[in-house]
Amino acid sequence: MEKKDGAYKAHVLVLPFPLQGHINPMIQFAKRLASKGLKVTVPTTISATMSMHIGSGLVDVEPISDGQDSVSQNDNLAFLADGSGTLTKLVEKYEASSDPFCCLVYDSILPWALDVARQHGLYGVSFFTQSCAIDAIYYHANQGHLTLPLAAAAAISLPGLPELGISDMPSFISEPKSYPSILEIVLKQFSNLEKADLVLVNTFDKLEDEAVRWMEGIWPVLTIGPTLPSMYLDMLIEGDKSYSLNLSNPNSDLCKKWLDARQTASVVYVSFGSVANLEADQMEELAWGLKESNNNFLWVVRESEHSKLPSKFLEETIEKGLVVTWCPQLEVLAHQAVGCFLTHCGWNSTLEALSLGVPMVAMPQWTDQPTNAKYVEEVWGVGLRVKVGEKGVVRREEMEKCIREVMEGERGKAIRMNASKWRELAKDVLAEGGSSDKNIEEFVARATFFNASRSPPRAE
C-alpha cells in the first residue's frame, strides 16, 4: 500500500514459523499493515513454498533457505532450532538495497529472530499465534511456578485464568514426558522476551480480558486479533476473502453445492485440522455418533485417514453426509446451513468459529486444544466439550448426545445466543475505532516513527 507520493511509511519483515497454522494468522496481520500504508515482506522457507499454494495478496513473499530446501519435516525443526543464518542473509540483502527493513515481527517460537533484529538495529516484535491463556500457562511453567509433572487431582490457579484441572492444561504441560522437545520449544518463547520492543497476540481484549491485563503488566502487549480475512469481519480490505496459504486445493464447488441444498442450521461440520490423527477406534465411534445424531454432516477426512472409516459407513450415510479430503473452512463456517462445528479446538479454528458465530462441540486432541476447549464451554459458553471414556476414547453415545444438545437442546439455545454475541464483538474490535484496529494503528505509528528515527544497533 503506497502513500500518495509513492513512498511507504516503513518496510516491515514478518517472519512466521513455516506451518500453516502459524503462517495464516501472521500473513493476515501483514495484510492489515499493508492496508494501512506499510510495505510488508513475509519470508517463507523454500520447503513451505513447495508444499503450499501461495498467493501474495497485499504482501511480498520472499523464499528463504531452511538449510535443506526439501519438504521433509526435519527442515522445519532445523529452522525452528536456528534459522538465524538464513534470516541474517535476507536482512543484509535488503540493507544493501534502497528498501531496508526497519522492523522485524517474528513468531514467538523463533526467539533467535530477536537477536538478529538487535544485531541489525531493527525494531523487534514478538507475535504469539496462541491465546493469552496459553501464553500465561507456558510462562508460569518456564518460571518454575508449575511443578511438572502436575498432580492428577490438582486444581491449578494462575493469574488471569479460571481454575484449571490437569485435563484443561496444554498436553505438553499435562504430559511433559510425551513431547519433551516441544515442551522445551514452547518454554523458550520467553527466553529473551523482555528484550522485545512489543508483544502482539492473536486474540482480542473482551475475549480474554483478565489474561490480557495480566500480560500487559509484564510486557508491552497489543492484541491484534482475530486474524481472519477482512471480508468475514470488518470488510475494510477489499477482496480479502481467504488466507494466502492452503495445504491443498479445497473442493469449494462441491461443498458449496451440497450446503446450498441443506436447510438453515441443519449441518454439523466436522474437522480436526491439518495435523491431528485419530486412532481407528476413535474414528469409528465418531462416525457412528454422527450417524446416530440424525443430522446432516460435512466431515473433512484427510486422504491418509480414509482407511480408518468404518466399513459401509459412507454407503449408509450417503443421504445425510458428505465426506471430503479438504474444504474451504471459512466459507463452510460462514454458510447458513452450518449449525455446529465439531472441532479439535485449534486456536485458529476456535477464533474462526467465534468470529462467525458458530456453536461448537469441542473434542480436543493435544497441544493448546484442551485449554481452548475449557474456554469454549465454561468461559465463553459457545459449545460443549465431549467427555472422554475409557482408554481415552470418546464413545458414540457421548458424540450423539453433545451434537443433539447443541443442535436441538435447551443448552443449545443459550449457546447459539452466546455465539452470536461473540460474532458481533469480533467484528467490532477490527472495525474502524475498535480495540484491535486501534492497536494495529498504534503498531503502524511505532514502526513509522522508528523508521524515521533509525538508530544504530543496540549493544547487548
Angle at 22 between CA 302 and CA 298, to 5 degrees: 30
Kindly state the helix (H) or strand (E) to which residue 414 belongs, with its residue range: helix 410-430
Interatomic CA distance for residues 329 and 324, integer angstroms: 12
Is-catalytic flag, 281? no
- 291 DSSP assignment: H
Grid coordinates 437442546 are at which residue?
409
The answer to whether residues 356 and 285 touch, using CB atoms and an 8 Å cutoff, is: no
Helical (H) or strand (E) element with 18: none
Using DSSP's 3-state secondary structure scheme, residue 356 falls into helix
Torsion 100-103-109-112 (CA) sign: positive
Give the burial class of 344: count Cβ atoms within 10 A of its Cβ; 0-12 exposed, 13-18 middle, 19 or more buried.
Answer: buried
Q: Are 104 and 116 in contact (CB under 8 A)?
A: yes
- CB contact at 8 A, 65 and 44: no
CA 168 to chain centre: 18
Half-sphere exposure (CA, 13 Å, Cβ side) for 334?
16
Q: Taking Cα atoms as reference points, which of 256, 316, 305, 266 lies closest to residue 283? A: 305
Neighbours of 143 (CB within 10 A): 10
**Active-site residue among 11, 66, 75, 107?**
107
The answer to whether 107 is a known catalytic residue is yes
Which grid cell is 277? 490423527
Number of other CB atoms surrounding residue 182 within 10 Å: 17
Helix (H, G, I), strand (E, B) or coil at 99: coil
- With vertex at residue 396, the alpha carbon angle to CA 393 and CA 398, rounded to the nearest 5 degrees, is 85
Name the burial class of residue 251, with classes exposed (0-12), middle (13-18) and buried (19+) by CB atoms within 10 angstroms of its CB.
middle
Residues 439 and 115 sit within 8 Å (Cβ to Cβ): no
State the catalytic residues.
22, 107
